[in-house]
Structure 1
Amino acid sequence: MLGFAILLGFNLLGLAVKELGHIPLPANLIGLILFTASLFLRIVKLEWVEQTAGFLTKHMLLFFVPFLVGTMTFFPYIGAHWLSVGVSLVGSTFAVLAATGWMTAALSGRAGGKNRRERGVDGE
C-alpha cells in the first residue's frame, strides 16, 4: 500500500507542478520525471514501490479499456474516412520507422552506410 501511495503522490505532485508552474507538459510525465529523479537520488527506495509497480504492470491491459471504449465511439468517423485514416496510419508508421533507423544509424556511427570497421576506427 505504501508503494501505491508513493506512486500516486508523485502523480499528484506532477499535477501540482504543472498547474503552479504553467509547464506545457502532461502532469503524469512531470510526475514520472520527478519519481525517476527521486529514485536516482535515492530519496525513494526501489523496494518501496517494486511490488506495486509489478502489480500495475501485470494488469496494464486494464488501463487500455477506457481508451478502447472511447475509440469505439469514433467507428462511424473511421468508417466514413477509412482511406485517409489508413494512409495516415501507414505513412506515420513508416515515417517513425525511417526516423528511428536513421537515428540509430547516426548514433551507432554508421551514417552514410559505413560502419566503424570500414572507416578504420577499430584500429585494424
Structure 2
Amino acid sequence: MDSAVSANFLNGITLLLAYQLVGEVSARLLNLPIPGPVIGMLLLFFSLLVRDSLAQVVEPAASALLSHLSLLFVPAGVGVMVHFGRIGEQWLPITAALLVGTLITLALTALVMLGVQRLQRRSAHHDA
C-alpha cells in the first residue's frame, strides 16, 4: 500500500509542478507582470473546473503540502531578518502600504460578499 500512496503523491506533485512550470514559462515568454506560479495556479483552477477527476490526482500532494504549510513561511521570515535595517529605514511607506492594502482588501471582500448574496437571493427567487 505504501507504493500506491507514494505513486499517488508523485503523480500529484508532478502535476502541480508542471502547472507551475507552464505558468513560469508563460510569464517569462509573454513578459507578463504576473508571477508564474500565480498563472500556473489559475490554469490548475480552470483545469479542475473543467475536469473533476483531476482533483483526485492532485489531492494527495496538495494535502501533504498543506500539512507543512508553515514551513513555507521560513524563507520569508529569514528575508525580513536579513533586510531588517532597510525595513527600519522605510517603516512609514511600508506601514502605509500595509494599511491601504488591508483596507482595499476588506472593501473588495465586502463587495464580493454582497454580490454573492445578491446572486444567491436571485437564484432562490427563481427557484421558488
Which of 1 and 2 has higher RCO (CA within 8 Å, sep 6+)?
2
Residues 64 and 79 (structure 1 numbering): CA distance in 2 closer, same or farther, change over 3 Å? same
Q: Name the TM-score, length of structure 2 as normaliser.
A: 0.67
- 1:57 is matched with which residue? 66
Q: Rg larger in 1 or in 2?
A: 1
Q: Distance in 1 between matches of 2:91 and 2:46?
A: 43
Compute the RMSD of aligned alpha carbons: 2.7
Partner amino acid, structure 1, of 2:47: S
Q: 1:84 & 1:20 partners in 2: Cα distance?
A: 32
Match of 1:71 among 59, 72, 80: 80
- Checking the alignment, whether the CA contact within 8 Å between 1:38 and 1:44 is kept in structure 2 is no
- What TM-score do the two structures reach when normalised by structure 1? 0.69
Tell me the distance in 2 between the aligned counterparts of 1:11 and 1:78.
Answer: 30
Residues 45, 85 of structure 1: alpha-carbon distance in 2 compared, 3 angstrom cutoff: closer
Instruction: Measure the CA separation in 2 of the matches of 1:87 and 1:40.
Output: 37
Equivalent position of 1:6 in the other structure:
15
Aligned residues: 110
Distance 1:50 1:89, change over 3 A: same
**Letter aligned with residue 48 of structure 1:** V
Q: In structure 2, how many angstroms separate the alpha carbons of the residues matched to 1:46 and 1:66? A: 29
| 1:1-124 matches, cutoff 5 A | 1-42=10-51, 45-101=54-110, 103-104=111-112, 107=115, 108=117
Between Structure 1 and Structure 2, which shows a larger proportion of helix residues? Answer: 2
Question: Residue 33 of structure 1: CA displacement?
Answer: 1.4
Cα deviation 1:19-76 (Å, max 9, x = unaligned): 2333332111111111112222218621111011001011111111111100112222
